[in-house]
Chains A and B, each alone.
Chain A
Amino acid sequence: MHYIKKEFEEAIKNIDNNEALKQLKAQFLGKKGRVTELFKRISDLGNEQKKEFGKNINQLKSYIENAIKEKQTQINEFVKRKSLEEESIDITLPSRVSNFGAIHPITKTIIEIEDIFKSMGFDVETGYEIEYDKYNFELLNIPKEHPARDMQDTFYINDNVVLRTHTSPTQVRVMQKKNPPVMFISPGKVYRRDSDITHSPMFHQIEGLLIDKDIHFSDLKGVLSEFLRMFFGDVPVRFRPSYFPFTEPSAEVDIGCIICKGKGCRVCSHTGYLEVLGCGMVHPNVLRNVNYPKDYNGFAFGLGVERFAMLKYGIDNIKLFFENDVRFLKQFSF
């Protein structure tokens, strides 16, 4: 009996398919199988021995049955695995989605800036791209023959209508419509008669205005510093006196050059700083022009979207934005 067990164990070891396992089963447990043969020998034994012998054979039988079952499971697993392996494909082939589009970097930048200001509670307003001279200049404290008109070379439709040279007319438009407090930004296209490597006759600005009681220049510093850090990361920010006819005091805002980290490079003209924003406290004349009560004041700012996009994505030629070369655009599908 012991010998049969040994023999079985030797045999099952090398079996790796269902066919052989079936044969093995027949060889030991079949009608003429080795174990079955053993049972036949029971009748030759005495009662005492019968009992002992029967128990042993039954043990051997169930041992063999279990072993075969186990082997069966192993073989099934193996067969399944093998057939899945045969179905293996090249997972590095590209997907069926072949056309990836992209949002224009200007729009991406506007969305990012809008979302920052929205999170601070600013509303979003839109203005007109074709404006009256009155809104583009006069109500913003830029009378005819003011030298500041030289700062912005203007496209004219007729003597009183221009392509807006900045998004600032939206300030006046909104204030004429709404009572204070107001708090909004306004993105859009603006136009200046100027074209070279760094100037495009059409570009994008985002205007901002906040009017309430008791707003300080320090608030302007706080809001814009926070915005710049949210957009550019942790960069130094500095405010420098400047001039805009519609703000007083006025400032230009520089950030530490993100290319050279302030060491001085070609992009920042070796100053270590990049000019990114113009801003100031809204000029009392502008508030008077829209008949706002005297106890209200506030700040305004304007930024060039192309400049922000160029710095953010390292784009070195403003023309790229408007050629709409698909090889350029597709890079912004992220």
Chain B
Amino acid sequence: MRVSYRWLKEFVDIDISAEELANKITMAGLEVDSVDKIETYKSIVGEILEIQEKGSLYLTKVDVGDSVLNIATADKTIKIGDKFPVVKAGGVIKNDVKIEKRKFGDFVSEGMMLSAAELGLEDSSSGLFRLDSSFKNGTNLSDIEEFDDYLIEIEFTPNRADALSILGVARDVRALLKKDIKFPEDSFSVISDKNINNVISVEIQNYDACPRYTLFVADVTVKESPFFIRSRLLKSGIRPINNIVDITNYVLMAFGQPMHAFDLNRLNEKIVVRNASKGEKILALDGREYELDENMLIIADSKEPIAIAGVMGGENFSVMDDTKTIALESAFFDPVSVRLTARKLKLHTDASHRFERGVDPNLCIKANHYALNLLEKYADAKIYDGHIDAKKDEFKEKTFDVSFENVNRLLGTNFDKKEMLEVLDYLNFKPKELNDNTFSVSVPTYRFDIEMEADIAEEVARCIGYDKVPSTFPVVQTSFKPKKRIDEIKRQLTKTLADYGLCEAVNYAFIDSNKLKLFNKNENEFIYLKNPLIEGQDVMRTTLVCGLLDNLTFNINKNAKSVALFEIGRVFFKDNDYSKELDKLGVVLWGVESFNWHNKERFYDFYDLKGVSEMVEKAFNLKFMYERSNQAFLHPGRSADLLLGGNNIGFIGELHPDIYDLYDIKFDKKVRVLIAEIDLNAIADYSSKIKMYEKLPKLPTVVRDLAIVVDKEVKASNIQDVIESFDSVYDVVLFDMYDKLEDSSIKSLAFRIVLKNDEKTFTDQEIDKIMDKIFSALKEKFNANLRG
């Protein structure tokens, strides 16, 4: 909300600058976004002396005090004697637009008359900004009171409904500066020969949704509002319409009470406050038709809806240029009722914004009085005798007791009683000291946010100042809590993989369901968003791979030559109406693995990816089984499922060539996309933190190499397992593999075997014997032959 500093000063004495004030109220909970001095662009008051019509233009002579200027304008509404802000040629207005002399035939326009938009008071204007006729020609606009002002933009928290007006802000300022509130004059006279009860009646059918409804009636003249009302509305971000509508808006801004003026002569008989019937329709002031339902409160006449209660009036019943008599509504509607209606209709207005947060139920009459005072002055109002005030109950102030000690204990302060009571008194809580430690408060009916002691503590603290609360350090006796294994694993893995040369990625958890279906055929597990932001983010991921492949595409499009990413994050599976969340590690490798001065260029392949899963094994002291995977999205010959304790806990492998296209990745025989995913919850379950050390061999070990030839299908890891099963074998390394032999059905493997003996040093014969045994075992199990 934009608050005029000048207007605010009418409600409370302010003896500090706008900037100082902004800082003070910010530190008391009304957060100021900006303070801006009104810019007038060195414009001056000009009076129109002559008008000559030429096509769609009006060529005028304008008296600007020291001279008379020729100025062209397109505004049809100008009349001789009207005054407008004028900028002479050579001047500069909003957005650095330079005003220059312009020729229209032999008429040279020597300046420009400005609209409110050109002064920066609104986004767009339909015409020029008419000034008060009492202003002296040639006066600098900056010397005119309403332009000598600051606009304070405040961002209100939703609890502070009470502050959504000049009065509301003034009440906080009052407590901070310890001053008095000054209410504007609100007296008016009535005409005794006309009585409201002869022309209209009010019937409330739903007191829960409308606890109070007040109404006055007056004969009026519809015309343009005075300059000060128009300029203050513009400063508040409200476009002036006519004096009647402007005055209701003026009171809304001043007091925070939404008001509405009906054209009495367009109403049928009476006003009924009731719930709409299903399917009932209303053409609202915004020119749109709304279909209502039975949960929405409306204002109706005897026939049809004339307003959506607390939200917006009906177009056909509002004030128009020919309106002669108005019925002026000032009511209190239930916050939840207004909120539900406004939300359902997707119709958010200044009125609904305030009603749904809470408007003071005791403000109705006061607001009406102020409006009538203004209508009498600026709309020639003849106010009917009497008024309607429909309500069931009075609106009493809540009271409760508060302990000084509790307030100080909650805050950790030592505020003295007098200080507390004074602050609360300035905030209208009428504090009464009951005994040494207790006082009572009476909560003003505009404070919907105050319910208990803690709320009072905050009021005290925010007005005395949070900076007056000391900084202390609590001593908490907490018991030792062991770290959660999964958290440790995630952190350790992050570090390990970054050290291994991969970059960590973080992706959105919602992804494209069409892409997810490529990786998970079980759609029953999917969790869809009811209201996704965009189409391609409609389902919660069940795998990290989709996001990582999107990252790969993104990077390739940015001309990356090497992409090695991992992500540690949650995936989500449907579990009845709820979800099961699992932590996963996802990996994508693609492109150049190494390209440098000491090696040939090499591209990432399966065995680089396997390095990742082996690092996981090493890091957490586990052993995975690698089995050929039959996942449809993986290359059938170049992929593996990872098994741990007999359970499938993930996969590694090349992306199936069919899927490259769907990610706009070119398939290249040399440059493959490698993906992996590992379930970290399983790692946490199986890994143990503690690993006992293995004794070192007591005597020197012996190294022997063994080269064999086996069928191509024989798995190297099985051979290695057999060799390792011998007691004397301390370590085995596969150091050579060759499968381009003449006989393409076989491959040659070479192992370096480290032998140990804890009793005594091996003799050559003993070593030969062991090697023979190993070879015999391999021959028997794998039909291995020694390499010739």
Contact = CB atoms under 8 A, between A and B. Distances in A.
State yes or no: do A and B come from one complex: yes
B279 interface: no
Contact of B507 (A121, A219, A322): A322
Contacts of A238: 27, 466-467
A329 B505 contact: yes
A91 to B, nearest CB: 13
A325 interface: yes
A193 interface: yes
A218 B469 contact: yes
A242 B29 contact: yes
A79 interface: no
A249 B406 CA distance: 13
Contact of A129 (B336, B474, B560, B572): B572
A157 B529 contact: yes
B356 A103 contact: no
- Among A99, A126, A251, residue most surrounded by chain B Cβ atoms (within 10 Å): A99
Given A130-B540, A183-B476, A183-B478, A248 B31 contact: no
A323 B555 CA distance: 9
Interface in A76-135: 93-94, 96, 98-104, 106-107, 111, 121, 123-124, 126, 128-130, 132
Contacts, number: 251
A243 B411 contact: no
Interface in B531-580: 531-533, 537, 540, 551, 554-555, 558, 560, 562-565, 569-570, 572, 577-579
- Among B452, B530, B595, residue most surrounded by chain A Cβ atoms (within 10 Å): B530
B411 A218 contact: yes
B598 interface: yes
Interface in A25-50: none
A193 B452 CA distance: 33
B670 interface: no
- Among A249, A321, A329, residue most surrounded by chain B Cβ atoms (within 10 Å): A249
A148 B339 CA distance: 12
A152 to B, nearest CB: 11
A101 B612 CA distance: 13
B744 interface: no
A240 B29 contact: yes
Contact of B506 (A107, A182, A223): A107
A181 B481 CA distance: 12
Interface stretch (B153-161, B256-264, B671-679): B153-161
B159 A243 contact: yes
A123 B461 CA distance: 30
Contacts of A239: 466-467, 469
A100 B501 contact: yes
A189 interface: yes
A281 B454 contact: yes
B454 A106 contact: no
A113 to B, nearest CB: 13
B28 interface: yes
A189 B409 contact: no
Interface residues of A, number: 82
Contact of B505 (A104, A163, A183, A195): A104
Contacts of A129: 509, 570, 572, 581
A147 interface: yes
A270 B339 CA distance: 35
Given A241-B461, A242-B157, A219 B340 contact: no
Given A106-B506, A242-B29, A284-B452, A123 B578 contact: no
B509 A132 contact: no
Nearest to B32: A271
B411 A145 contact: no
A221 interface: yes
B764 interface: no
Contacts of A123: 478, 481
B531 A99 contact: no
B315 interface: no
B735 interface: no
A243 to B, nearest CB: 3
A203 to B, nearest CB: 10
Interface in B458-499: 458, 461-462, 466-467, 469-474, 476-478, 481, 483-484, 486-487, 491, 494-495, 497-499
28 contacts: A96-B598, A99-B501, A100-B501, A101-B497, A106-B506, A107-B494, A150-B158, A163-B510, A183-B478, A201-B537, A217-B411, A219-B412, A219-B473, A219-B474, A221-B466, A221-B469, A221-B472, A222-B473, A240-B31, A243-B29, A248-B452, A248-B454, A269-B33, A281-B410, A281-B454, A322-B508, A324-B507, A324-B554
Given A99-B594, A129-B509, 5 more contacts: A147-B339, A217-B413, A241-B462, A243-B157, A270-B34
Closest 9 CB pairs of A and B: A218-B412, A216-B412, A99-B501, A241-B29, A249-B458, A243-B157, A241-B462, A329-B503, A101-B498
